[in-house]
Structure 1
Amino acid sequence: MAEQTTPQIGGHCDARFAGVRTAFAENFRERGELGAAVTVLLDGEPVVDLWGGWADAARTRSWASDTLVNVWSTTKGATALCAHLLIDRGLLDPDAPVAAYWPEFAAAGKQDVLVRHLLSHRAGLAGLRVPHTLAQLYDWELTTARLAATEPWWEPGACSGYHALTYGFLVGEVVRRVTGQLPSTFLHQEVTGPLGIDFSIRLPEEEARRAAELVPMPAARGGERGAAPRKLAPVVLAALANPVTGAADANTRAWRAAEIPAAGGHGTARGVAALYEIFTGRRRVDSGYQVLSAQAAERVREGQGSCRDLILGTGLGHDTEIGLGLWLSGRHGSYGPNPRAFGHDGFGGSFGLADPEAGISIGYVMNHMGTHIADDPRKMALVDAVYEAVASSV
């Protein structure tokens, strides 16, 4: 790829984290970045908060300090957080059958599927067996009813299989059955509103002016909707292409307004870092109330067994392990050198990371979607730079 000019970079970066600023600039020069932001919190304090580039493909709008963007599956961390708040409060049992909260879910042999199976992508419901359009995806009642009625693709609990879109409806419906609120409302009421975190699962119409335009990955330009693979197993197609979604969809008002708790979150890098910091078990509100207990934060990264993911395994090329909602860094270092650090990547490159031992959380958002299934080179350059800075200052 030909080198690009580095745009003006705004924000601040502590001197000891200068390498992160260098990596951020190199993402523009060497890795095809268009517009992006990165925030690093160390023990709750912002040591890196940078942004730069363009908020649209035509390069007419500069990326600003408050530019937000759809972060795709990085949203799953926020949805998992809703469930863990309920677990922490004794309102949800991860070892209870899903049907204890959602009776209709017991259909088609799913009476023994546990809440932990939903959180760890082991429910066998990675996609629907019947054709499901994008318009139907926007219909919460229809989508959850179809999921309740369908049979699993594999034995629940046996192995993970990435629930790309269904995750949010499955976990989200349990949240709704327990609280009476959709995940977007519960998240705002219990977390983002009180803490002033710039992140939402449904983007309010008045905030659309701040939204960056997503730009599709190079291979999908000009034919995004017809780019779904054709020679994949039925379960993989069901998970990743029923319906097919892409940047063009995510730029619409319909997508932004819809309740899609697996992929429809919008936030700034600052907002993502703040959300994922809660998973370190250290975040408190001004009154001193701890948002998520240390025990609950530890539960989030309770590994459910390493395996070759049934949906993403071929593309990733190695075994992975998912905790109760987030992916563990593991021996491949997807979220830094601590194998028990954890986080979630979003389609195209965004990510959130939490490392309780190091006291680190990271949020990275961008609008030019990359081609990697996970561990986008821009992400890994930033993660490596953060941990190099931490190691050199010890």
Structure 2
Amino acid sequence: MGILKTSCIIIVVAVLLQYIPLLFETELPVLINGTVAPGFEDVAKVFRDNFESGLEPLGSGSAFAAYYNGEKVIDLWGGYADHEALQPWKEDTLTAAMSCTKALAALCMAMLVERGQLKYDDKVSHYWPEFAQNGKENITVRMLLNHEAGLPIVSRQLSTELFSNYEELGKVFAESTPVWKPGTARGYHMVVMAEIASQLLSRVDSKNRTVGEHFREEVAEPFDIDFYIGLPLELNYRTARFTHDDRLWSFIKPILTTYRSSRVLWGIVSGTTFWTGVYNNCGTICHFGSMNNPDVRAVEKPSSLGIGTARALAKLYDIILYSVKGPDGKPLLSQKTVHSLYDASNWEAKFDMVNGFPTKFNVGFGIYPNMKSIDIAFGHAGSGGQMSLAHPTLNLTHTYLTRNRGFFTAGDDPRWIALTDSMIKCVKKIQASKN
């Protein structure tokens, strides 16, 4: 039998094995709840369409929230927190935000910079002398936050147990050797950027707090943000079961239809990026199924496992964007600092040695210009479809979170794109009606 014929038979059998079981699944009703302000009705329709069209897989659950001109205008949730248990997604359901959490670590660092306790262009070793080992003596805080420190791979394989030992984890970072000369290249520090930043922050902070502790005490509690870096065990009953889209086409489609996903695969296959090395170094940290373990959720993982609601992150970005004052009468960041986060003079696109395509970062925040209908936005994407952004020119903030991890590269997920396109069209229509 010829190779081509054999390959075709294997593909057909694989597809049949993938989809025949779906014929015997019980169809679950589409559950959609929440509110939208007048003028944003089309977004609610798109949110429902995502479920009814299959963009949201059978039994999936997600939430989408947005603030416009300082007011909450979209607050939608739908599907299931756990479809096997027939547990619907509720108004207060929490889910993993993945790498969206990196921006919260960047926020904590920016707060210290604004207070004069930290400087972006100082060397990390100025605050953390032990860090100046094995070629890391000239790494600046800015290089670290912009994924230019050369440390996407560290000296020991990572694990939840290691992340649970804060002192030992710091020693691993201090002894690690960069895989490229710091400052000469960019490569996404997928699971360690915010953890290294946390080690730095705890050495600068007057209370020696970690990023998770600093975020809770300085941001989440005073501003009533329902988001956690290290989830308290007693809140697990609210948390959606994290899963992934296991449909074969859902794995193939991103590679065939998007530039970034195809570049990631090419880097893996060709060995021209560090992606495989990063994943191998990731150990149990990248075992997505473990995210359903309450003990794992309780460990601080500010690069990859903040847990909360879409509403909370959209609200937080609105608070940042408008420099809303807290109970102490002070904002998290001044308007001058906020503007610097997305000012084009402070960031540039650089080829990413891990992802295999150009990325844009500014002191830990992702920059997302010219993506579909987006002109300029700052925030962060997360693996599996998560996205949380602020659009300064539109006075708009929004967040999409799902429990069902897709395979599109961060920022390319069609569920999020459909909602964002619809929302921005609504905003522009509202603005045009007032001119």
TM-score w.r.t. the length of structure 1 is 0.90
Q: Which has the larger radius of gyration?
A: 2
Whole-angstrom CA distance in 1 between matches of 2:131 and 2:50: 45
Matched, 1:325 2:364: yes
Flag the 1:207–1:287 CA change in 2: closer, same or farther, 3 A. same
- Greater Cα offset, 127-136 or 323-332: 127-136
Does the 8 Å contact 1:5/1:28 carry over to 2? no
Aligned position for 2:35:
12
2:347 counterpart (286, 304, 314)? 304
Matched, 1:201 2:237: no
Secondary structure in 2 aligned to 1:380?
Answer: helix
Matched, 1:216 2:259: no
- List gaps (5 residues or longer) in structure 2: 1-18, 249-267
Shift of 1:147: 1.3
Flag the 1:319–1:235 CA change in 2: closer, same or farther, 3 A. closer
Matched, 1:243 2:267: no
Matched, 1:360 2:383: no
Flag the 1:246–1:385 CA change in 2: closer, same or farther, 3 A. farther
Equivalence map 1:155-304=2 (5 Å): 155-179=181-205, 180-218=208-246, 232=271, 235-244=274-283, 245-286=286-327, 288-301=329-342, 303-304=346-347
Secondary structure in 1 aligned to 2:276?
Answer: helix
Number of matched residues? 379
Equivalence map 1:143-158=2 (5 Å): 143-158=169-184
Does the 8 Å contact 1:269/1:363 carry over to 2? yes
Letter in 2 for 1:298: H
Does the 8 Å contact 2:222/2:327 carry over to 1? no
Aligned position for 1:83:
109
Aligned position for 1:225:
none
Secondary structure in 2 aligned to 1:49?
Answer: strand
Whole-angstrom CA distance in 1 between matches of 2:401 and 2:140: 33
Whole-angstrom CA distance in 2 between matches of 1:238 and 1:304: 27
Aligned position for 1:118:
144
Secondary structure in 1 aligned to 2:384?
Answer: coil
- List gaps (5 residues or longer) in structure 1: 221-228
Shift of 1:230: 7.8
Shift of 1:5: 6.7
Secondary structure in 2 aligned to 1:67?
Answer: coil
Shift of 1:219: 6.7
- 1:112-131 Cα shifts (integer Å, max 9, x gaps): 10000111111111121433
- 1:314-346 Cα shifts (integer Å, max 9, x gaps): xxxx4221111121112334xx422x3112111
Aligned position for 2:427:
390
Does the 8 Å contact 2:65/2:74 carry over to 1? yes
Flag the 1:234–1:219 CA change in 2: closer, same or farther, 3 A. farther
Whole-angstrom CA distance in 1 between matches of 2:277 and 2:324: 38
2:45 counterpart (14, 22, 37)? 22
Flag the 1:203–1:230 CA change in 2: closer, same or farther, 3 A. farther
Whole-angstrom CA distance in 2 between matches of 1:258 and 1:234: 29
Whole-angstrom CA distance in 1 between matches of 2:182 and 2:79: 44
Whole-angstrom CA distance in 1 between matches of 2:183 and 2:347: 9
Does the 8 Å contact 2:39/2:426 carry over to 1? yes
Does the 8 Å contact 1:69/1:267 carry over to 2? yes
Does the 8 Å contact 1:37/1:365 carry over to 2? yes
Does the 8 Å contact 2:158/2:281 carry over to 1? yes
Aligned position for 1:226:
none
Aligned position for 1:223:
none
Flag the 1:159–1:330 CA change in 2: closer, same or farther, 3 A. farther
Shift of 1:287: 5.7
- Greater Cα offset, 122-131 or 166-175: 122-131
Whole-angstrom CA distance in 2 between matches of 1:207 and 1:191: 19
Whole-angstrom CA distance in 1 between matches of 2:322 and 2:167: 34
Letter in 1 for 2:277: A
Tell me which protein shows more strand as a share of its residues. 2
Tell me which protein shows more helix as a share of its residues. 2
Does the 8 Å contact 2:43/2:419 carry over to 1? yes
Secondary structure in 1 aligned to 2:86?
Answer: coil
Whole-angstrom CA distance in 2 between matches of 1:219 and 1:160: 33
Does the 8 Å contact 1:57/1:215 carry over to 2? no
Aligned position for 1:68:
94
Does the 8 Å contact 1:301/1:324 carry over to 2? no
Letter in 1 for 2:337: A
Does the 8 Å contact 1:281/1:292 carry over to 2? no
Aligned position for 1:130:
156
